Amino acid sequence: MQPFEGIRVLDLTHVLAGPFCTSQLANLGAEVIKIESPTHPDMTRDDGGSQTLNEDQMGTFFLSQSAGKKSLTLDLASKDGIAIFELLVKTSDVVVQNYSGDKLEKLGISFEKLSKINSKIIYCSMTGFGKTGPKANHPAYDVVIQAYSGIMAANGWSNEDPPLRVGPPMVDYGTGAQAAFAISSALFQRERTGTGQEIDVAMADAALMLMSSGVTETLATGVSPKRFGNSHPELPYYSAYKSSEGWVMLGAYTLKQASDLMNVLGYYGEALEIKNLTRKTIGSVSEQNRRLISKRIQENSAQYWEDILNESHVPAARIRRIDETCHEKLFRNTKNLFQTRPPNNFLLLPFRFLMVVQDYLDPHHNLESTQKNYF
């Protein structure tokens, strides 16, 4: 039995953050019914790198967040559409929507109204800046929130260089994860109280949570953390280096790990010196050790250094492209993470319940278009 088996979710979301939230609930057993407009379906249906999938309205941006859901076309701007939706609400547990401003409220879809139909309903709104405040009606995408929240200004090579966007839509996925967590919490709370809940999830808030330590430092000091790209200014042991073949990222953050790193590289005197330093004084030898590390790393491949350093319990990894990572045995042998039977290649869950038997999605299961058992 899956954790959310028996839970019905009405999914009024689109693009990435909202659909990612509801996909997490679906992956844990919830019955998720994705509701789309007959004239304006989810814009990601034809978005992605595969033209064939785009033409089939199953673009990779859509598929990655929609596999395992049921599908229903419903005109919520019509009286009949609203009547059908309200009928669904009676037998549902959760409604999730990510329209900006009060668009759905104007159609009569609000927590206040839906809770009168079903007092146990959990209503989650996902917006760029929250349901209240001066920017409540402003639209947003991942890149806009990256700019607004400070993520772009925190990312890059130095404070003198232009701000840099984080490549993957991390704010979208971070917001979706927070929303799924909030809904899960509300479902648990409902078991105790017997009543529903209204949830307000803002992408801007989630973005700050993704930078929790940096935000805390800024609030404490009044100064934003400096940007340093791939090379930590005081910890050359926590930096990226070019090898004879590819790049390797070193993650030796503690004094012991830094000392062990220098030992593996053959710099025994420097390793001993680091042992006698503190976090406050370790920066005194950073530049000389950076040059030594760079010189030695160039003597072998990134994969060689990953292997030999990991064997000595020093964190390090060859910098991989996504296509390389997807073919790593670490992930290919994890049943709950990947479903890889074309055309349905998608991610499921990044965790496992080890003490129970998990039911996984049928790898051939796409969106169900049937209306059977909806009402």
Instruction: With respect to residue 198, please indicate whether it lies within any of the assigned structural domains.
Output: yes
Instruction: Give the tens place of pLDDT for each residue, 141-163.
Output: 999 999 999 999 999 998 889 99
Which residues touch 86 (CB under 8 Å, ≥6 apart)?
A: 114, 117
CATH number at residue 22: 3.40.50.10540
Could you tell me which of 221, 223, 231, 200 has the C-alpha nearest to residue 150? 223
**Is 40 tagged catalytic?**
no
* Confidence category of residue 346, pLDDT binned at 50, 70, 90: low
Same domain, 58 and 166: yes
Same domain, 132 and 240: no
Q: How many structural domains compose the chain?
A: 2
Question: CB of 213 within 8 A of CB of 55?
Answer: no
How confident is the prediction for the chain on average, in pLDDT? 91
Same domain, 253 and 168: no
Residue in the block written with tokens 């709950």: 336
Residue in the block written with tokens 């074309």: 342
**Which residue is catalytic, options 232, 327, 364, 365?**
232
pLDDT for residue 124: 98
Same domain, 103 and 245: no
Instruction: Give the tens place of pLDDT for each residue, 59-107.
Output: 888 988 888 899 999 999 999 999 999 999 999 999 999 998 888 999 9
Instruction: With respect to residue 245, please indicate whether it lies within any of the assigned structural domains.
Output: yes
Question: CB of 96 within 8 A of CB of 175?
Answer: no
φ, ψ of residue 298 to 5 degrees: the values are -70, -10
What DSSP designation does 350 have?
A: S
CATH number at residue 261: 3.30.1540.10
Instruction: With respect to residue 275, please indicate whether it lies within any of the assigned structural domains.
Output: yes
Tokens of 288: 């000389």
Domain extent, residue 186, equals 8-211+334-347
Instruction: Give the tens place of pLDDT for each residue, 324-336.
Output: 998 888 876 666 5
pLDDT for residue 103: 87
Same domain, 314 and 341: no
* Confidence category of residue 370, pLDDT binned at 50, 70, 90: very low
Instruction: Give the tens place of pLDDT for each residue, 295-335.
Output: 999 999 999 999 999 999 999 999 999 999 988 888 766 66
Same domain, 246 and 293: yes
Determine the Cα–Cα distance for residues 221 and 266; give it in Å rounded to an integer. 39
* Confidence category of residue 356, pLDDT binned at 50, 70, 90: low
pTM of the model: 0.91
